[in-house]
Amino acid sequence: MAEATIVIDNEVGLHARPAATFVKAAQGFAADITITNLTRGSDPANAKSLVQIFKAAVAKGHEMRIEASGADADEAVDALVALVESNFGE
């Protein structure tokens, strides 16, 4: 299991285009990946589901935990953290 906690700096948070980019990246890994909006205290959401990502309601400034389990869990978390830190490639 791998995990990281990160603060979202993107202006729209994890919504619309950033969410779609995040989900597409997560789907590229075999690991089971979840995100948890720590600021809102939400339940873990499947990072490979756009609907669940929207329900997590991660906004700018929110703290989010990314957790992964499986063969490529470390790589998945590292890649998703890098994606968030790059402002979703923008």
Q: Give catalytic residues, as residue numbers.
A: 15
From the list 68, 84, 77, 86, the residue with the least C-alpha distance to 19 is 84
DSSP 76: H
Q: Residue 76 is which amino acid?
A: A
Query: Residue holding tokens 């075999």?
Result: 30
Using alpha carbons only, give the angle 57, 61, 66 rounded to the nearest 5 degrees. Answer: 60
